[in-house]
C-alpha cells in the first residue's frame, strides 16, 4: 500500500520534473530580446505547468481508493489544476525580476538566472497545490474520512516540522509556503497517530538538526524542550538589558494565554502580586523569557540549562 510519505515523494518528483522543463524554456530566451522572447514561450510554459498539475492531481484518486476505498464520485484532475489559480501572473514574474535586475545594473546572464530560480520555485509550488486540492476533494467525497493531517517529509523547514501530524477539519485550508512539499493524509476514527515534530526530529542526523533549528535550539530539543516552543520563540526575538546584562529574549508566549505566561502568572500569584507587577523585594513577577541560545550561553552545565529551559517554558 502506498503510504502518505510515498505519495508525497511521487508528487515532489512530478513538481521537480515539471520545473526542470519549464526552467529550460526560460533559460533558452534570447538575451538581446528578453521580453519578446519570453512572451513567445510563456504559452508553452503554461501548458507544461498545467500538464504537471494535472498529472499530480491525477494521483489522488488511485491513492485514496487504495488507502480509504472508493468515494461518492471521482476527482477531476483538470479541475484541480484550474483551481490552483491563473498562471498569467506567475509566468510574468520571472520576466519582471530579470528586467528589474538589469535596470539595477546586474548582468543579463545573472538576471536571467534570478528569474529562473523564481520560476522553478513557483512551478513546484503550483504542481504541489494542484495535487493537494485533488487530495482534499477526494477526502471530502469519502464519508469515512473525518479530518486530515499534515504530512511532512524530511528535509523540511522548522516551521513545517512543528505542524507535522497536526489534525484539521476538512473545511480548513492548507497552510503552505512557496516550494512547500508538505501534503495531507486522510484520518478516520481509530487510525494510529501520525508522525509529529518530535518523531521527525529524532529521525534527523545531528547535522540536519543543526541546519533546521540552529545549534542551540537543536540542543534544547535534544534536552527535552518542546519543538514548537523553541521554533515559535524566534518570532518575538529581541535583545535587551536586564540586571546589568545584555541578553537575547523573546516576547512569544509571555501573555496570560501563552504557556510561559501562564507559568509566570502562577509565580506572580505565589509571590502575592498581580501578573506583571513588582514584588516588595523589587523582583519582577514576570522575568524576561530567554531564548534557547541565551540559556546555553549562560548555563554552567547541562543540568543548569535544563532548569532554565523549564523556567522559560521550553520543557513542558
Residue 289 and residue 162 share a domain:
no
Same domain, 110 and 159: yes
| pTM for the predicted model, two decimal places | 0.78
Q: Looking at the structure, tell me whether residues 175 and 307 fall in a common domain.
A: no
48-81 pLDDT, tens per residue?
999 999 999 999 999 999 999 988 888 899 999 9
154 lies in some domain:
yes
Q: Give residues with Cβ within 8 angstroms of 252, minimum separation 6.
A: 232, 233, 234, 235, 236, 237, 258, 289
Dump pLDDT digits (tens) for 102-161.
999 999 999 999 999 999 999 999 999 999 999 999 999 998 899 999 988 888 888 888
pLDDT of residue 282: 43
Question: Same structural domain for residues 75 and 181?
Answer: yes
pLDDT digits 0-9 by tens, 169-218: 888 888 888 878 788 999 988 888 888 899 999 999 999 999 989 899 99
**Domains: count for the chain:** 2
**Which of 180, 198, 216 is the C-terminal boundary of a domain?**
198
Q: What are residue 240's DSSP bridge partners?
A: 247
Choice among 7-16, 217-226, 271-280 with the minimum mean pLDDT: 271-280
Residues 212, 276 within the same domain: yes
Residue 316 placed within a domain: no
Closest CA to 121 of 18, 259, 247, 236: 18
| Closest by Cα among 26, 44, 34, 43 to 113 | 26
Q: Does 105 lie in the same domain as 133?
A: yes
Question: Considering the chain, what is the average pLDDT of its residues?
Answer: 87
Which of 159, 180, 198 delimits the end of a domain?
Answer: 198
Domain co-membership, 89 together with 56: yes
Q: What percent of the chain has pLDDT over 90?
A: 53
My answer on whether 30 and 107 are in the same domain is yes
pLDDT-derived band at 266 (thresholds 50, 70, 90) equals: low
88: how many CB neighbours lie within 10 A of its CB?
9
**Residue of higher predicted confidence among 250 and 18:** 18
- Rounded to an integer, what is the distance from CA 125 to the centroid of its chain? 12
Range of the domain at 287: 205-311
| Banded pLDDT at 285 (limits 50, 70, 90) | very low
Is 134 found in the same domain as 163?
yes
Amino acid at each position: 500500500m502506498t503510504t502518505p510519505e510515498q505519495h508525497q515523494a511521487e508528487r515532489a518528483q512530478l513538481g521537480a520534473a515539471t520545473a526542470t522543463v519549464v526552467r529550460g524554456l526560460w533559460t533558452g530566451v534570447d538575451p538581446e530580446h528578453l521580453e519578446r522572447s519570453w512572451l513567445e514561450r510563456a504559452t508553452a510554459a503554461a501548458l507544461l505547468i498545467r500538464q504537471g498539475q494535472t498529472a499530480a492531481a491525477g494521483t489522488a484518486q488511485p491513492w485514496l481508493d487504495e488507502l480509504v476505498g472508493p468515494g461518492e464520485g471521482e476527482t477531476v484532475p483538470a479541475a484541480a489544476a484550474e483551481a490552483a489559480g491563473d498562471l498569467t501572473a506567475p509566468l510574468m514574474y520571472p520576466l519582471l525580476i530579470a528586467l528589474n535586475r538589469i535596470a539595477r545594473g546586474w548582468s543579463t546572464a545573472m538576471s536571467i538566472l534570478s528569474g529562473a530560480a523564481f520560476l522553478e520555485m513557483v512551478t513546484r509550488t503550483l504542481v504541489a497545490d494542484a495535487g493537494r486540492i485533488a487530495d482534499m476533494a477526494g477526502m471530502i467525497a469519502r464519508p469515512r474520512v473525518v479530518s486530515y493531517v499534515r504530512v511532512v517529509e524530511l528535509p523540511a523547514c522548522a516551521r513545517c516540522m512543528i505542524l507535522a501530524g497536526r489534525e484539521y477539519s476538512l473545511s480548513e485550508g492548507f497552510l503552505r509556503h512557496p516550494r512547500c512539499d508538505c501534503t495531507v493524509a486522510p484520518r478516520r476514527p481509530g487510525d494510529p497517530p501520525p508522525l509529529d515534530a518530535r518523531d521527525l526530529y529524532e529521525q534527523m542526523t545531528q547535522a540536519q538538526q543543526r541546519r533546521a533549528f540552529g545549534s542551540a535550539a537543536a540542543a534544547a530539543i535534544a534536552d527535552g524542550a518542546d519543538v514548537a516552543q523553541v521554533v515559535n520563540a524566534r518570532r518575538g526575538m529581541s535583545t535587551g538589558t536586564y540586571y546589568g546584562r545584555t541578553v537575547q529574549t523573546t516576547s512569544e508566549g509571555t501573555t496570560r494565554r501563552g504557556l510561559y505566561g501562564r507559568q509566570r502568572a502562577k509565580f506572580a500569584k505565589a509571590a502575592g502580586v498581580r501578573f506583571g507587577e513588582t514584588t516588595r523585594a523589587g523582583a519582577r513577577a514576570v522575568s524576561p523569557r530567554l531564548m534557547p541560545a541565551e540559556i546555553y550561553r549562560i548555563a554552567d552545565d547541562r543540568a543548569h540549562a535544563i532548569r532554565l529551559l523549564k523556567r522559560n517554558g521550553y520543557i513542558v
